[in-house]
Amino acid sequence: MTDQKPLMADVEEDDAQQTSTKSLVYKIVCVVVACIVAALLPVVFPGALGLTPVQHILLVIFAAAAFCWITEPIPVYATSLFAMGALAIFISDSAVWPLREHLEAVDKEHMISYKSVLSSFSAPVVILFIGGFALAIAATKYKLDVNLARILLKPFGKRPSMVMLGIMAVTGIFAMFMSNTATTVMMLAMITPVISTFDKSDRGIKGLIFCVPVAANIGGIATPVGTPPNAIALKYLVGPDSISFLDWMMVGFPLAVICILVGWALLHFLYPVRQKEIEIKIESHFAKDWRSLTVYIVFALTILLWMTETKHGINSYVVALIPLIAYTCTGIIKTSDIKTMNWDVIWLIAGGIALGDALGKTGLASKLANIIDYTQYSGMMIVILLSIIGWALSNFISNTASANLMLPIAVAVLSQAGDIGIDKSTVLMFCAIAISFAMSLPISTPPNALAYATGYLKNRDIMIAGGLISVVCLGLGIAAMFLAR
């Protein structure tokens, strides 16, 4: 009898491994089938798309990347690296020898430069995000985030409903400038000890836990550095379509505030707290050593410069270098800290930029966009369709991957539709925001997954609360877009 449990454990482990293997095989089969369909589509319907050889190859690469991002047989950042490698090897001016000669002979005008593919690693938006990571690392390391949370939560008192609002407000503020994942980890760590003292039958526990990822997801829409989809949208907003840090905030911040208030009201209604008082004790104080003071000053200066870009003329990408330089030169950020940056997110963004550039430069995005005749739809209807598709997709895959897939297509759609009565900057901004509103499942966003991992929430809880808040916020976003156009 004593040997039975280990044997049963081995059987369960083997079953889990077999299930995992089968799932991986299914995912790989889906990717392979998608690639075969993409390869045969122009052959079976030669007049439907009218693809050139380079566009034909790119369609297969795009299909492979899309289905890898959707099914995840490999990590999403690995898919980005694969896409960049495939672009350079198969359709660039440094492609493999026999293929390069053939493409140069039959379709040289659509080949892309290998330098443009590799330069995606150092695109301005990538530097913007690395600067944001530097701010987050320094703030966490020198407890600026914890001390700010202590100060900001104090005015909300001890009433459960107000404490929940305070938690959401603080989380949303941090998510504007920090990774929403890091923000969620910090805030959950603060409130979990308090929640552990609650009566287990108190449904309010679910609301207090889930309010953190809701605010983290929504808070990111307020600034260009709040979440990766915003950065990807900025990649396409250049020249006359460019948008400043403050211009983004003037739309994103009020919308984030309204959506957080709506989320708070819905969570308070769905999961009322029975406990009369809640007190979150944070034992921390602002340090006064020169390194801590440097962190505080540089943090405030960077945000101030981002918000006053139109006054001093230094764009947000260049401003992002300030914390990187200041913190590394003073030893505030060390080599070990740099290794903790979210390089997977950086690779994911870089791969999406490279793929989006290729879709645009080869003309494939334009041809894919032309499959539907958008002239029969109004400008507002086009934008709503793009936003809803991006939002729906983002509920099942990474919002960064969703933005990588949708925004290049959105750009092509806008160029084909002509003047739709809405600025390109407004359209892409709200497409990115709609993608960030997707939070209906535990897998929709890392903050959702972290909240689910606490054990206080079930899948059904997130589907009901997250789905309802997600849909309402999407509706509010569409209404805001109508007003901002």
Q: Are 233 and 429 in contact (CB under 8 A)?
A: yes
Sequence ranges of the domains in the chain: 25-120, 124-343
Gap between the Cα atoms of 134 and 141, Å rounded: 11
Q: Which amino acid is at 177?
A: F
Gap between the Cα atoms of 342 and 446, Å rounded: 13
| Residue whose structure tokens are 């991992």 | 453
pLDDT tens, position by position, 396-452 = 777 887 888 888 888 888 877 767 777 888 889 999 999 999 888 877 788 888 888
* CA-wise closest residue to 324 among 341, 310, 307: 341
Of 21-30, 197-206, 334-343, the one with minimum mean pLDDT is 197-206
Question: Strand, helix or coil at 112?
Answer: strand
On average, the pLDDT of the chain sits at 85
Q: How many CA atoms lie within 13 A of 476 on its CB side?
A: 22
Write the DSSP string, 256-304. Answer: HHHHHHHHHHHHHHHS---SS------------SHHHHHHHHHHHHHHH
Count of residues for the chain?
485
pLDDT tens, position by position, 280-338 = 777 778 888 999 999 999 989 988 888 887 788 888 889 889 999 999 999 999 999 99
